[in-house]
Every structure is written in C-alpha cells, then in structure tokens.
Structure 1
C-alpha cells in the first residue's frame, strides 16, 4: 500500500524550518510504518518560504524576469526541503531524492522523498505523476489550510468551506494557468492531470497530525475531498 503525500513547503518551512512539526510528523510516520509492514510512503516536498523569498528577490532585481527562472529558483528550494526530510527519515529512506518523477525506479525502502522537477507547474504535479506511477488511489495534499473554500476567506468573509467537490468544480475555482509561486490549494496543472486519470485528492491541514492519522486510517476527518 503506497500513500502519496504532497507535503507543502508552507508547513515544512513557513518562515525558516519548522523543526517541531518535522519531529512530530516523522515520529507519526515511523509509528505507522512500525505498525504495518506493508505500508509505504512517498513524500513530495514543496518550497515554502525559501522559494517565495528567493523568487521575490529575483523579481525585485530583474523586473519582468522570466517565469522559467523564477520556477527554477522555487524548484531548488523544494530540493533543499526534500533533502532535509530524506535525511530526517534516515534508514527508512534508502533512495536519493527523486527529482524527475518520469525516471524513477521501484520503491526500494519504506519511504521515498521527491522534490520539484522542472518549470511549468508545482510539486503537486509531481505528486500526481508519482501516484499514477505507483498506483496510489489518492494524493493527500497537506498545507497551511484546513479546507478548500468557495473563495479566499481572507478577502471574502462569506467564503464557505467545502467538504467534497468535483474536479470540474474545483478547476473552476483555481483556473488552468500556472505562474511561479501561485497560491492555490492544488496546482492547476496537477489538477488537470488528476482529473484526467480520475485521481482523488484530499486537502487538509498539515500540522493537524491527529487529523492526518484519521485520514490514513480511513476515518472521518476534516478536509476537502476532490473527486472525478
């Protein structure tokens, strides 16, 4: 059983590394692996604050700079965060960080860690490709938001949380276009491919580890399920 988790950079490195979260998260993972010999995890790690800060610096120094260059800066941040997660997992992760989800071999350890791949989309898309490659039935998208809303709740006080939504409805909210650093619950490019292959995505708050345990146990949880 392979579980793919898109581990948002916003919870790994919101403003510097969140050491307390990473300690608790990896402790939960180790506990689950010890309980179930057949369980396997794939973590796809986002860029977080380092990506945003370095991309902003590039934009400030080079006004009108190329999106491709901004994307590469963000990708390098994902690789830094992914290398940290891999190192923390220690003996559970025997493979190097995956940087190209289309050129990945079998999962040899209990944990595989991946980063961003190339410009044009976020690490969410890599998570979808890896879920497809390893026949996972869902991607669990962990970030700094509990649920998807009908609108941006910071700007619209009437925005409502959504428990379940179809891909058509979700894509109407996030659009189809990707720009480096775009702040949406799930990348539009990743959403398009997930919809195409009928993949389920669960969006939930990454720091709520009791809730994550419920998701992994198939119990009732707080979050948004996106389905075909």
Structure 2
C-alpha cells in the first residue's frame, strides 16, 4: 500500500554522516532532496529530528548532570538540527514550517496541532523540534506522539541499519533481520527499535513503524509507495 501522510523520524546521528560530531551539510542536503522528491509526489511529510549528534541528555545525566536539565539541553540541540534541515529544504524550494514544543518565537512557530495539520494539507513539510517539550521523554516517543496527533498513517524510522535484528549485526554475523514484527514481540524481547513508551503509544494508536536504512538513495520514496524496505512493526504483522 502507498501512504498519503507520513511521519519521518530522523536521528541526530543521521545528520552527522561520517563525522564524529555535529552536522554534515552535504548529508543534510541529500536528506532534504529525498524529502523533496516525496513531497513532489503528493505525500504529506512531517519530521521529528533527534539531537544525539550534538548532545545526549541521558549520557550527560549518567555523568552527574541533573536529568531534567540535561534533557532540556538535548531538546535545544534538536532545534539546531531542525533549523539546519529547514534551511536545506528552503534552498531547494520546498515550503516548510518549523514548530517547537518549547517557545522560540524568533526562530519557529509554537507547536499547535491544528496548525500543523493545516500546513500538511497545504503541501508544506512540518518539522517538529524540541522533542515533546518535557524531560524524561525521548524523541522516539515524540515521534509516536506527533504521529498520533496529526493522524499520520505510519512512522518511518530512518536509521543507519537496514532493519531490525535479533542481535547486533555488527558483532554477530549470524544475526537475523526481521521482515515484520508485532508490537508485543518488540516489547517482550526488548528489541532496540524505539523505547518502550514509543512502542506502547504506537500499539495503542495502531500506528505501524517502518525501520529502514536512510543511506540507501531513494528509500524514503520506496517506503511511501509501500515497497519492501527494512522491517515493519504493526498490530497485524507476523513475526518473520
């Protein structure tokens, strides 16, 4: 099946390419072009971006920083990434709006659900920054939350791997890549797809999740057309 409204979850690491830290403008430009191609095909696209390439709240918390403070810093990092992506889209003529869960009126709109949906209906890409606006929640959970709020048909989790495995494929050459999974299997076996809160939200709202390799050119477009890329997680899926 093909999709008309999707939510694309980008990790902060996806924006840094092969760099050890920060943002690779060339990689961001490539992602923007892929999104542009999808938008031009008539698909409505919303994006949630992480901030792990700049700052990781949980890592800082483990080192002694107050968890809430660390998470707020991480939220600000996601806005930096979101602004970079916004600029890349604008430079190739793709209309978009950046909405943040923390008020930053000089650089972005506040997150307003109805306004976000209206932007999508007008063919604009909507980029959600600053996570959910609350500490102790990941951007994966934000992706599940926003997808439910805007009635997205599916979440595309674009990563550096080509799907979900039963073990780390880098350390285990015999690791099995799943074609499809149920929410319960992911939760029960603690597979590292998204955090458990995000998976539970998707299960409750029946939002499928497609995990695929972002580095393969054209994968986002293929995913919107319902082609087999990566691993899909859903309530009606079989464990294969």
**TM-score relative to the length of structure 2:** 0.78
TM-align CA RMSD: 2.4
Encode CA deviations 1:18-76: one digit per residue, 9 max, x unaligned: 2222212212222332333xx22101001132123x765x458xx43332222222222
Secondary structure of residue in 2 paired with 1:27 = helix
> Relative to structure 1, is the Cα distance of residues 25 and 160 closer, same or farther in structure 2, using a 3 angstrom cutoff?
same
Q: How does 1:58-137 map to 2 (within 5 A)?
A: 58=60, 63-90=63-90, 92-99=94-101, 103-106=112-115, 107-108=118-119, 109=122, 110-115=124-129, 116-117=131-132, 118-137=134-153
Aligned to 1:178: none
Secondary structure of residue in 2 paired with 1:203 = strand
- CA drift of 1:138 comes to 0.6
> Relative to structure 1, is the Cα distance of residues 3 and 99 closer, same or farther in structure 2, using a 3 angstrom cutoff?
same
- CA drift of 1:164 comes to 0.5
Gaps of 5+ in 2: 103-109, 236-240
Which of residues 199, 216, 220 is equivalent to 1:212?
A: 220
Encode CA deviations 1:193-225: one digit per residue, 9 max, x unaligned: 11111110001111213222211122232x110
Q: Distance in 2 between matches of 1:96 and 1:212?
A: 20
Work out the number of aligned pairs and report it.
Answer: 213
Moved more, 100-109 or 17-26: 100-109
Q: Distance in 1 between matches of 2:96 and 2:168?
A: 40
Encode CA deviations 1:111-143: one digit per residue, 9 max, x unaligned: 000121221221122221222122121100011
Secondary structure of residue in 2 paired with 1:73 = helix
**TM-score relative to the length of structure 1:** 0.82
- Tell whether 2:52 aligns with 1:48: yes
- Alpha-carbon contact 1:98-1:104 (below 8 Å) kept: no
Secondary structure of residue in 2 paired with 1:49 = coil
- CA drift of 1:102 comes to 7.2
Between Structure 1 and Structure 2, which shows a larger proportion of helix residues? 1
Secondary structure of residue in 2 paired with 1:85 = helix
Aligned to 2:157: 141
Q: Distance in 2 between matches of 1:125 and 1:149?
A: 21
